[in-house]
Structures are given as structure tokens and as C-alpha cells.
Amino acid sequence: MLVVMQSDATAPQVDRVVAVIRERGLTPHVLPGTTRTAIGMTGNTSAVEAALFESLPGVSEAIRVTKPYKLASREMHRDDTAIPLPQGTFGPEAFTIVAGPCSVEDEALIFRTAEFLLENGITFLRAGAFKPRTSPYSFQGLGREGLAILKKVREKTGIAVVTELMDTDNADAVEEAVDVIQIGTRNMQNFALLKRVGLARKPVLLKRGMSATLEEWLMAAEYIMAGGNYQVILCERGVRTFADHSRNTLDLSVIPPAKTQSHLPIVVDPSHGTGKRAYVPSMSLAALAAGADGLLLEIHPDPDKALSDGAQTLDFPTFAKLLNQLRQLAPTLGRSIPSGRSESVC
């Protein structure tokens, strides 16, 4: 059930609705909108009567939400959600680019990449300190040491950092060290982890499970939002199919239905989506054209020497060329890609 307030509803009227929801043993979620506030509720096992809320002062209407996910649904929140950070926003206007090496390999690599990105007007760095590798014998990431490097680059340069959290044990440390917490494809249905980041006060970049349907993906987002963290950024990173010409099948066709079903921003990761660096530029441009709100890209000064995912990683000149193409295309699609060093972060 979603209770939509009248545009001139007062704060005490909103509080009254919240109190009635609580009296029924349910959890209220106050969702301020551009013109009016809506209040969602979760925890209801039986139908909640619309009439109960519609008789309260300041209430415009009470709508039954038909989807199995509520807070993530477009029914609950008609406007596109924007997730603002000091370094940029994930949402409907800007096309926000996050780039960096697959893994934190050492401090020099991270600082060199951050400086290159900032010189090119990109204010979000990605790099994994904890790496989910298919083989236990592959490089597993630097762990806490890598996290300390990310914390340092963030403090010294002002760049925003996105990194993966793989388990609840490291949740406090990751939340403290970075700006956006990434949940990887393999953990999309790790419900303990989703519940933990639902308590975090940092945005969560939620990768689509490699075999997940859109509904399962949005249910995973719902787990995070039901905990009170509404700042969820969806990330399409390719799914498993019979195709073997690429590592995964980048499912750009999920963007329009994701936008129809949900108000959450969605970014695309063409690096993991294709697994091959030659395909990354065209798929990046296609993601922008398909309505994505941004990109997550793997870049490295010497991709062939990268400790993980080198085959899908762009070198700096190729990334700069792609960025130039994206900057030319974005305005024709009503998007902006900020350029130049941002005063506020350096």
C-alpha cells in the first residue's frame, strides 16, 4: 500500500499516517517527491485497507502496490530517483562514468588512475580490494590493505570511490572507507549481505546476478531498501547465455523494462558484460543510447599486465577516445557528462 499525501499536506498530517502504519505493526517509509509526499509500508502480510488511510486528514489516495517489490517499484515512486554525491549524481540527467582497474593492485596504480580520471573530468573511481575470483588460486585482492589505499586516494584527491563488499565481516570497514558500496553479481542474492547494506548510510551499486531475472534483481534491491537504505543504483553487467563469442551477454534490453518497473538509476558495465576490450567502446555508446544513467568501466595503464580482468580492460588512450565520443553523443540524448576538474573535489 502506498499512501499519497495531498500537495499541501502538513508535517503533522504525514506524522499521523506514519503513526497509524506503526500501530498496525508495519514499517512506514516516507518518500518525499517533487510535488507531494508518499508513504509506503512494508511488512504487511494481509491486505491493508485503503479506506483506513483515505479517511485521514491530508491524504489524497491510498494505492495498492501490485508488484512483489514495493519500494523499488515505479508504482511507489513515479519520478526517477537521483542519488546525489558531492562528486556527481546517479540519475536521469547526468551520464555518470565510474572507471578504474578491476583490482587495487598497489598504491601507485590507484593514484595514477585517479589523477588521469580527474584530469579527464571523471570523478568516480572503481577498484576492488576484495575480489570474488572463480579460482581460489587467482589473485584475491589486497583486502584491508587495498581498502586503506582507496581511503587514502579519496582523502588526498577528493575522487569518489566505488568498491565491492563481499561479506558482512568487512561491512563497517568498507562503509567507512568508500563512497559507494558495490554488491557483485555473485552476491546479488546473498540476503544477509543485502540486509547489512540496507542499514548502511552509503549508496549501494547492485550488480545484476548473472542468471537473475529483472524481478529477482528488483527484489534484491527491495531487500536493501526495506532496511531503510533507499540509495540503490542498479548495474547491468551481462548474463549467462549459450553465446560464447563474449564472456557474458550484455543485456541492454533490460534497461527499458527496468525503467518502466522501477524508479532506480541504472548503470551498465560493458567490461564484465563482454569480457573483451574490443567490444567495450561500442557497447558503452549503445548503453548511453539505450537509456542507461551511466557506465562502470575497467581501465588500466597497461591492461595486459593487470592482475585481474585484463582482457576486458581499456588502456587510458582508448578510454579517453571513448569519453570524447560519449561527450559528443550525450547532449543529443538529453544527457550531460561533466568535463574538466571539478572545483568542489580538488
Interacting residue ranges for ligand PEP, rule: CB under 6 A: 102, 128, 132, 184-185, 207, 237, 272
Nearest distance from C-beta of residue 158 to ligand PEP, angstroms: 23
DSSP assigned state of 59:
E
Q: Rounded distance, CA 258 to CA 318, Å?
A: 30
Residue nearer to ligand PEP on the CB measure, 37 or 312: 312
Q: Residue 114 binds what, of ligand PEP, Mn ion, none (CB under 5 to 8 Å, by partner type)?
A: none
* Amino acid making up residue 35: T
**DSSP H helices in 120-262:** 144-157, 171-177, 191-198, 214-226, 255-261
Nearest distance from C-beta of residue 311 to Mn ion, angstroms: 10
Residue nearer to Mn ion on the CB measure, 105 or 309: 309
Q: Residue 207 binds what, of Mn ion, ligand PEP, none (CB under 5 to 8 Å, by partner type)?
A: ligand PEP
Q: Is the dihedral of CA 196, 175, 40, 91 positive or negative?
A: negative
Residue nearest to Mn ion (CB): 102
Nearest distance from C-beta of residue 293 to ligand PEP, angstroms: 17
For Mn ion, the binding residues (CB under 5 A) are 102, 309
Nearest distance from C-beta of residue 272 to Mn ion, angstroms: 6
DSSP assigned state of 57:
T
Question: Are 131 and 140 within 8 A, CB to CB?
Answer: yes
Nearest distance from C-beta of residue 309 to ligand PEP, angstroms: 6
Q: Residue 327 binds what, of Mn ion, ligand PEP, none (CB under 5 to 8 Å, by partner type)?
A: none
Q: Residue 184 binds what, of Mn ion, ligand PEP, none (CB under 5 to 8 Å, by partner type)?
A: ligand PEP
Q: Residue 331 binds what, of Mn ion, ligand PEP, none (CB under 5 to 8 Å, by partner type)?
A: none
Q: Which has the closest alpha carbon to 24: 10, 41, 37?
A: 41
The grid coordinates of residue 122 equal 571523471
Show the 3-state SS of 168-193: HHHHHHHHHHCCEEEECHHHCCCHHH
Q: Which helix (H) or strand (E) holds 144?
A: helix 144-157
